[in-house]
Amino acid sequence: MKWSPLLVLACAAALSGQVSADALASLIRALASSDYAVREAAHRDLLALGPAAKDALIAARSSQTLEARLRIDALLAAQHSVTGTATAPLAGVRVTEDFRGKTLAVAVARLEQLCAAKIILGEPPPLGGAPDVEREAQPDNTPPVTSPDQSWQQRVLSLAWANTPLLQVLDELCLEAGLLARRGNNGEIILNPGQGVRGLAAYDGPLKLGITNVSITRSVSPGAAAYASMHVQLQLEVEPGATPLGVLLPLGSCSATDDQQRTIKVVAQGGMRPQVSQMGPQRQQWMNATFEPPERDAKLIAELLVPLRLLVPEEMQHFELAPAAANPARAPSAEDHETARAWFDAQGRLEISLPAAESSAPPEAGTVRRSDQVTLLDGAGKPLNARLVRASESASGLQQTYEGAAGATLVRVSVVRKWRVEARTLRFTDIKLP
């Protein structure tokens, strides 16, 4: 490895505990050199210095040429990039709480803390309206205020849980408090008064698999063979804040028995090509399982086993970007896709450019779409409710444009680099037949 004289001086200063301001200034000036080789060498030297050069880069950025500013942006982004981050096994939040005698508002505030995601009591205001009210831990009698009539949020609960999956806790909370839950466009859970009925569901870590419908079809047509089948419609939900994932379809071979211990045969799904259904921001997925019809005297499906093959991240890359100030002359260029960058355009919209992501998926998963998680934070470190208005992807990278992000001071991006397949089997009992 050949080290430049400037890097030797700067590293010597860094090892002594103080980075030479003159050495750093010389390297930064070299980013604007008329000699390409000098610019490249200075870029490499500053990259090698890492965080020791951060403050000097930020201070010098505004006075540099366009290319030097782009290089400084790339250097700052590289300092906040962590590659090859291994992810933990797919696990969810488990709740051990006693909410007996507590109000609904206090319970929801506590659950929101536990899951590190947004749980909203009442319809949220529209984009561009009043901001969502903070829902941090609050003492009794001081519930969050989101609508004029808050009396239903003061309902006193009689619930307690020990090591219970979060999604099961939310279902039981909705059942007791008379609430309906739905997912917002950004994965948040919104709770509103309603006449919800708890259906059949199985829970495993951050997963909830619900049975939304069971139907039996029997048809007899003159001159045609009789046809009969049983369809079970399933809805998979993933708790907010859990690792992004996809489901490999078709489902594995489900198994079922009736209330007389007779096997209900699953219908082969060999005609369906293997594919990955990636879950969107709402973290929900609908699936179907098809069986031969049970015997006519059967009253229940005594047991139903549903095997799932989940696609979960094995390694991820994380970026933290500080958006550059608005620049009317700034326009996307080919260099924008060389590294992660963020800046405000002339209209005040936030532009984010991400490099092409080489993602390795298991053979059984085939091709997997890019899965970037982008979070915009304000100066207090709280997420912004910005709106994605444009997204384009090419071989060179991904470009996104957000409106309503004027207060963004930090952009966090997570990119999946490697996937793995994880198998889970969820079990249902005593399903009433139609």
Per-residue pLDDT of the chain (434 residues; tens, 9 = 90+): 344 554 445 544 444 445 678 888 888 999 888 887 888 888 888 888 877 888 788 778 777 776 777 778 667 766 655 555 666 667 788 899 999 999 999 999 998 888 767 888 886 544 443 333 333 333 334 344 444 567 888 889 999 999 999 999 999 999 999 898 888 776 788 898 886 666 789 999 889 999 999 998 877 666 656 678 899 999 999 887 777 678 888 887 899 999 999 999 888 654 456 788 878 777 888 888 889 899 989 999 999 999 998 888 888 777 778 887 765 455 545 444 456 788 888 888 998 888 776 777 888 787 777 777 788 888 777 778 788 898 887 777 788 899 988 888 888 888 788 888 888 999 999 999 98
Looking at residue 228, its pLDDT comes to 84
* Half-sphere exposure at residue 374, Cβ-oriented, CA atoms within 13 angstroms: 25
- The Cα–Cα gap between 212 and 205 comes to 20
Looking at residue 270, its pLDDT comes to 47
Looking at residue 227, its pLDDT comes to 74
β-pairing, 119-121 vs 189-193, is parallel
Looking at residue 88, its pLDDT comes to 66
Looking at residue 125, its pLDDT comes to 45
* Residue 358 CB-density burial (10 A; 0-12 exposed, 13-18 middle, 19+ buried): exposed
Other Cβ atoms less than 10 A from the Cβ of 241: the count is 16
Phi/psi for 235 (5° steps) reads: -125, 120
* Half-sphere exposure at residue 333, Cβ-oriented, CA atoms within 13 angstroms: 8
Going from the C-alpha of 372 to that of each of 132, 167, 352, the distances in angstroms are 25, 24, 12
Pick from 170, 146, 4, 179: which is nearest to 94 by CA? Answer: 170
**Domain ranges across the chain:** 1-79, 94-204, 212-306+421-432
Query: What proportions of the chain, in percent to the nearest 5, are helix, strand and coil?
Result: 25, 35, 40
Residues forming beta bridges with residue 85, ordered by sequence position: 316
Phi/psi for 373 (5° steps) reads: -105, 120
- The Cα–Cα gap between 173 and 166 comes to 10
Largest Cα span, the chain: 94
* Half-sphere exposure at residue 130, Cβ-oriented, CA atoms within 13 angstroms: 9
3-state secondary structure 48-106: HHHHHHHHHHHHHHHHCCHHHHHHHHHHHHHHCCEEEEECCCCCCCEEEEECCCCEHHH
Looking at residue 136, its pLDDT comes to 35
Looking at residue 157, its pLDDT comes to 94
Looking at residue 58, its pLDDT comes to 78
β-pairing, 372-377 vs 410-432, is antiparallel
> pLDDT tens-digit profile of 206-247?
899 999 999 988 776 666 566 788 999 999 998 877 776 788
CATH class of 94-204: alpha beta
Looking at residue 149, its pLDDT comes to 62
